[in-house]
Chains A and B, each alone.
Chain A
Amino acid sequence: MQIRDTEEIYQQLKKARIKILVPLIFLTITSYFCFIWVIAFNSKFFGTLIFDTNISIGIFLGFLLILLIFLITLIYVYLANKILEPLINKIQKNG
């Protein structure tokens, strides 16, 4: 009974983890390679100044990307603690 229980929770855990990981990994990789891509192909665009200031789009987006990277780690830990950790705990209790 207990073994079947563990197996079931484990399958749940695997599914939940994939649901969390796939969008976050996708977001990480695409945002970064878009950034690099613009630098390689259209670096002039990043030099455009925004909002009547001397701050360029490239610098603005670069700072935003640093923020996004940190946010991704925060979101993951929040979701992992809320969704994955209870499942992991149950499995650990079952041994």
Chain B
Amino acid sequence: MLLLGLLFSNLLFASTADGKPNYTAIIMFVLFVGVTLFITYWASKKTHTAKSFYTAGGNITGLQNGLAISGDFMSAASFLGISGLVYLSGFDGLIYSIGFLIGWPIILLLIAEPLRNLGKYSFSDVVSFRLKQKPIRILAACGSLSTVILYLIAQMVGAGKLIEILFGLPYYSAVMIVGGLMISYVTFGGMLATTWVQIIKAILLLSGATLMAFLVLYQFEFNFNQLFSEAVNIHSKGKNIMSPGGLISDPVSAISLGLALMFGTAGLPHILMRFFTVSDAVEARKSVVYATGFIGYFYILTFIIGFGAIVLVSNNPEYLNDSGALIGNNNMAAIHLSHAVGGDILLGFISAVAFATILAVVSGLTLAGASAISHDLYANAFLTGKNNEKMEMKVSKLATIFLGVLAVFLGILFEGQNVAFMVGLAFAIAATTNFPILILSIYWKNLTTRGAVIGGSAGLFIAILLVILGPVVWVDIFGNNEAIFPYKYPALFSMIVTFIGIWFFSKTDKTKTSIAEKKLFEAQYFRSQTGVGIDKPNGH
């Protein structure tokens, strides 16, 4: 209640950059918060067991889960960031879009079904299926938590900045509102509320972006050629926006970024967790097809929106500051475009959608982080054997509050810092630690606990080290002249370290437990392929 009071009093003073309050934005946003809090209240009555808290009871359908997955994946960073990148340099935005999308066939072909068939609440259930619980759970939780926290910081800082510009709220109160709402969604409503928040947000974002792209194309009589021609004429880089720019300049970076995006998606804990909310492998498959369709469609829209902004925003003085740059920054391209094609009403709608997007994504992340703490660390690594479900639920709620407060704190701490590299690092860690141990535990008979722990943690360490020694942190943030590690993207090197480490230390593992672990593989593989022995969902 206190939070709601704070929220409303803040919103009363909310205004757009030019000082006039945007009532559409305020009404839309209050409506979204109202509906989602009501859903949370409804979900809280159904969320009594650990299973319902982590998996929404396992009754989510393929279409619903597909929407929720795309909701988790289409963050404000990808909506505003990619359209901003297209606005800035055209083609390069497409490199990111395709990179983010290419992970999905990999998830579908190699991971979705075995994951659903072997796991209960989190991907570490799968990795520890035949390996030793304690060390594997700790490793997987470290991988999950570092991915989640890095991602959270990037989202929080982005959210604070965005809300500051859109609603005129002070940065710290914006971050606190986001933190407070996400804590209430997750602690009270668990996965059920989080899933529905994602679904609503995905529908809002998809329809908002569709409307914008439609209005842009309408101005060009639905002729792409005309849109591109005018963009080339207006943009300061001219026809260079139609070809790759400076995003990738050497083959090592190309492969390294490619690997991180392709396999990182398949190691994101909040995405993997979604596969436990459906009843079986068939629904898991379906949800990936829906998600891939929605996300691919969405990236095509952001590309049109970015080009639309080049033509309709970049030489309109209303959206530029004195030095001729976009008000806010390049990430505001889509927001300004909404005003250019739809006036105050569309601006209000898109702003509210952007805010809803942030809220939904941080909620999904927090839930995944909380499950790593309560389910992996507390219940299965430290309390082995005397698992108490009531206590596990309590711990997961405490963990949610802890992560929420931590996210607010880190969001304020990193205000004004360049946090763009953190999402990249999160993908690199997911590709380096989470993905290899997951995929090898499913498909490689000879994987042992020793191999997974040594290889996985060596990769994690190298990925973080290379980012610190690389150009983004060592030069841009620490202010050194030259980077010790010359590449921006560490995944190629850290993934090699992980795979070689896992292979070597598994192969040379001749202990009794390792022989037992290898023996269990056949039975595990049978279950992963056929789903014989999995839990049935609650109720109907």
A70 touches B296 (CB 8 A): yes
User: Interface residues of A, CB < 8 Å — how many?
Assistant: 47
The CA of A55 and the CA of B303, in the complex, are separated in Å by 13
Residue A49 CB within 8 A of the other chain: yes
A47 touches B105 (CB 8 A): no
- CB of B130 to closest CB in A, whole Å: 18
Taken residue by residue from 36 to 54, chain A's Cβ proximity to chain B (1 for < 8 Å, 0 otherwise) reads as: 1101110110110100011
Given A24-B105, A91-B530, A70 and B293 contact (CB-CB distance below 8 Å): yes
A10, A35, A67, A77: the one contacting B289 at CB < 8 Å is: A77
Residue B262 CB within 8 A of the other chain: yes
- CB of A23 to closest CB in B, whole Å: 10
A54 touches B242 (CB 8 A): yes
- Nearest-CB residue, chain B, relative to A66: B296
Given A10-B530, A49-B242, A88-B530, A58 and B108 contact (CB-CB distance below 8 Å): no
A73 touches B530 (CB 8 A): no
Residue B101 CB within 8 A of the other chain: yes
Instruction: Scan residues 515-533 of chain B and give those whose CB is less than 8 A from a CB of chain A.
Output: 526, 529-532
Residue A59 CB within 8 A of the other chain: yes
Please give, as numbers and ranges, the residues of chain A lying within 8 Å of B282 by CB-CB distance.
81, 85
The CA of A54 and the CA of B91, in the complex, are separated in Å by 13
The CA of A87 and the CA of B116, in the complex, are separated in Å by 18
Please give, as numbers and ranges, the residues of chain A lying within 8 Å of B526 by CB-CB distance.
10
- Nearest-CB residue, chain B, relative to A39: B244
A44 touches B243 (CB 8 A): yes
A72 touches B530 (CB 8 A): no
B91 touches A53 (CB 8 A): no
Is the contact region of chain B dominated by helix, strand, or loop, or is it mixed?
helix
Given A47-B243, A54-B229, A74-B289, A40 and B105 contact (CB-CB distance below 8 Å): no
Please give, as numbers and ranges, the residues of chain A lying within 8 Å of B95 by CB-CB distance.
36, 39
Taken residue by residue from 78 to 115, chain B's Cβ proximity to chain A (1 for < 8 Å, 0 otherwise) reads as: 00000000000001001101100110111011100000
B102 touches A80 (CB 8 A): no
Instruction: Scan residues 291-348 of chain B and give those whose CB is less than 8 A from a CB of chain A.
Output: 292-293, 296, 299-300
B529 touches A10 (CB 8 A): yes
Is the contact region of chain A dominated by helix, strand, or loop, or is it mixed?
helix
- Nearest-CB residue, chain B, relative to A27: B105
Instruction: Scan residues 225-264 of chain B and give those whose CB is less than 8 A from a CB of chain A.
Output: 225, 228-229, 232, 239-240, 242-244, 248-251, 253-255, 257-258, 262
A32 touches B292 (CB 8 A): no
Given A32-B98, A40-B248, A54 and B243 contact (CB-CB distance below 8 Å): no
Instruction: Scan residues 56-75 of chain A and give those whose CB is less than 8 A from a CB of chain B.
Output: 56, 58-59, 62-63, 65-67, 69-70, 72-74
The CA of A56 and the CA of B228, in the complex, are separated in Å by 9
Residue B286 CB within 8 A of the other chain: yes
The CA of A13 and the CA of B113, in the complex, are separated in Å by 14
B532 touches A91 (CB 8 A): yes
The CA of A74 and the CA of B109, in the complex, are separated in Å by 11
- Nearest-CB residue, chain B, relative to A38: B244
B254 touches A40 (CB 8 A): yes
- CB of A17 to closest CB in B, whole Å: 7
Given A62-B94, A63-B300, A36 and B254 contact (CB-CB distance below 8 Å): yes
B106, B251, B257: the one contacting A41 at CB < 8 Å is: B251
- CB of A46 to closest CB in B, whole Å: 5
The CA of A5 and the CA of B144, in the complex, are separated in Å by 41
Residue A25 CB within 8 A of the other chain: yes
The CA of A9 and the CA of B292, in the complex, are separated in Å by 31
A-B contacts, 24 of them at CB < 8 A, read A13-B530, A28-B105, A28-B106, A36-B248, A39-B95, A39-B254, A40-B250, A41-B251, A46-B91, A58-B91, A59-B242, A62-B97, A65-B98, A66-B98, A66-B296, A69-B101, A69-B102, A70-B293, A73-B104, A73-B105, A88-B529, A91-B530, A92-B531, A92-B532
Other 11 A-B pairs with CB < 8 A, given A55-B228, A62-B97, A76-B109: A36-B258, A41-B251, A43-B244, A54-B228, A56-B242, A58-B94, A62-B98, A73-B293, A92-B530, A92-B531, A92-B532
Chain A to chain B: the 8 pairs with minimum beta-carbon distance, closest first: A47-B243, A40-B254, A56-B242, A43-B244, A62-B94, A54-B229, A54-B228, A53-B225
